[in-house]
Chains A and B, each alone.
Chain A
Amino acid sequence: MTKVLTDARSIRIKGRSFLAVVLSPDLPLDEWLTRLDDLASRSAGFFLGRPVVLDVTDLDIDRGQLKELLTAFADRNVSIMGIEGARPSLLGPGMPPALKGGRPVSEDSMAKEPAVEVPAGKLSPEVIREVRPPLQSIIVREPIRSGQSVIFPEGDVTVIGSVASGAEVIAGGSVHIYGTLRGRVMAGSVGNSSARIFCRKLDAELLAIDGIYQVAENMAASLKGQPVQLWLENDTIMAEKLA
């Protein structure tokens, strides 16, 4: 018997990027846990409220040892939100999910995390991160080639060059392209509806601002090949030719 969908509205599914701390333990685990305790004692609350990913790539342990490790983390109030690099045989029910496709992040983005309490006494450089205002924008000086992705959830992206067909730019803020836009651009990707997209020549495959999409087919033909700015108004993407 076929099930009928009772509600015609679909559920809004979004993608979001979060920054996570990755811990990569090494053997022997007891010694590593001691070093972890040392870190936690020198900076109280470092792990409080911070999602942590466990990286077990190249770690020679079995499922039992992994379970013990996870218990050890729970005892220390470290919440493991996912496991990276685990062989399928290692994971079981009740364990954090397997994560794939993590990207390394610069030190500056890490500094955005809540400030670490600075205890009196000796400070170790790798524990205390200098808290600076985060970078609001990046500039890409070369054309973005097909198949390349520029992902910058922290702010604006400026491209001095073209964005090729099959390339994509995903920014938390606005996207400025001093060239031809032939690929995909997603501005305001972390929930910023005031983000805008600017380009010298519009030939995009897909545009999105804060989750609202528009594909090339639905774009006004008069805008093609023109310098355009796009913004969001009442859940619709508005476009205007630039002077």
Chain B
Amino acid sequence: MGKVIVVTSGKGGVGKTTSSAALGAALAQKGEKVVVVDFDVGLRNLDLVMGAERRVVYDIVNVIQGDAKLPQALIRDKRLETLFLLPASQTRDKDALTPEGVETVITELRRVFDWVICDSPAGIERGATLAMRHADIAVVVTNPEVSSVRDSDRIIGLLDAKTLKAERGERMEKHLLLTRYDPLRAERGDMLKVDDVLEILSIPLIGIIPESMDVLRASNIGAPVTLADARSAPAQAYFDAARRLCGEALPITVPGEKRGLFGKIFGRKAA
């Protein structure tokens, strides 16, 4: 039986899709069977980041409405054979998702895959609540700035209220993924420090992903950052986060501003 992870945040544009793809690819590179599911119906992006946008035939709404079977909608990644994508529909909107339909899809995916990563849309309405409903683990993606932190706090409250786990009286395992961290700005006080964010949100930290041009380059070439440039700083941070998800007790390293000489030579692959 696979584990269902929801990658959520409340705030938009903080790195949910980037992180879903990066973590999915990192776990697949360890040999795990992974499917990343795009819940952002109408504004889908996961297919772009995964480089599968020209191979989408059926999507999750087709499966829910019975127009297609689940294996027909799943797209296998060309580079990693244990990584699959279930895209969202672009022509519909979130109202096309039904609780029963989502339950059926997730149950079926759980049977086949080791990890089901649900890329939640921004917001707190139907799309987001359906994405989190069946999760075993939540990864709350937050930028170290005030609006993102407040929205993440809101979504943490919802994780403890609107999920099946919460309704059964169980605790949802929540992890904080701090993204777009810029050490210089944190030093100057323009961005919140790691400790400030942890003090407000009070959930365990699973990784700090530094702000980096590598992320933009990776999505431009249609690859998760952990595939496009595995030696870049964000990719390394994602690999560490994936290891922590699997249970390894790695100490967290806060990214510093200077990379070593090796990092400078090997870390900048051309796109």
Contact = CB atoms under 8 A, between A and B. Distances in A.
A146 to B, nearest CB: 4
B97 interface: no
A71 interface: no
A191 interface: no
B150 to A, nearest CB: 5
A231 to B, nearest CB: 27
Interface residues of B, number: 12
B156 interface: yes
A146 B154 contact: yes
A165 B153 contact: yes
A180 B150 CA distance: 14
A204 to B, nearest CB: 14
A167 B158 CA distance: 13
B160 A164 contact: no
Contacts of A146: 150-151, 153-154, 157
A149 to B, nearest CB: 10
Contacts of A165: 150, 153
Contact of A147 (B154, B200, B202): B154
Nearest to A182: B200
B228 to A, nearest CB: 35
A145 interface: yes
Interface in B178-199: 199
A25 interface: no
Question: Which of A161, A165, A167, A180 has the most chain B CB within a 10 Å cutoff?
Answer: A165
Interface in A165-216: 165-167, 180, 182
Interface string A110-135: 00000000000000000000000000
Contacts of B156: 145
Band of interface residues on A: 10 to 19
B157 A145 contact: yes
Contact of B157 (A148, A162, A180): A148
Given A145-B156, A146-B157, A147-B157, A161 B150 contact: no
A82 interface: no
Contact of B153 (A145, A161, A180): A145
A143 interface: yes
B160 A162 contact: no
Interface string B31-52: 0000000000000000000000
Contacts of A167: 157
Nearest to A166: B150
Interface string B117-161: 000000010000000000000000000000000110110111010
B64 to A, nearest CB: 27
Contacts of A166: 150, 153-154
Contacts of B157: 145-148, 167
Contacts of A162: 200, 202
A180 B153 CA distance: 14
Contacts of B153: 145-147, 164-166
Contacts of B199: 180
Contacts of A182: 200
Given A164-B150, A166-B153, A166-B154, A145 B200 contact: no
A35 B199 CA distance: 55
26 contacts: A143-B202, A145-B153, A145-B154, A145-B156, A145-B160, A146-B150, A146-B151, A146-B153, A146-B154, A146-B157, A147-B124, A147-B153, A147-B154, A147-B158, A148-B157, A161-B202, A162-B200, A162-B202, A164-B150, A164-B153, A164-B200, A165-B150, A166-B150, A166-B154, A167-B157, A180-B199
Interface of A: 143, 145-148, 161-162, 164-167, 180, 182
Given A145-B154, A164-B200, 17 more contacts: A145-B156, A145-B160, A146-B150, A146-B151, A146-B153, A146-B157, A147-B124, A148-B157, A162-B202, A164-B150, A165-B150, A165-B153, A166-B150, A166-B153, A166-B154, A180-B199, A182-B200
**Minimum-distance CB pairs A-B, first 9:** A145-B157, A146-B153, A146-B154, A147-B154, A164-B153, A148-B157, A145-B153, A165-B150, A147-B157
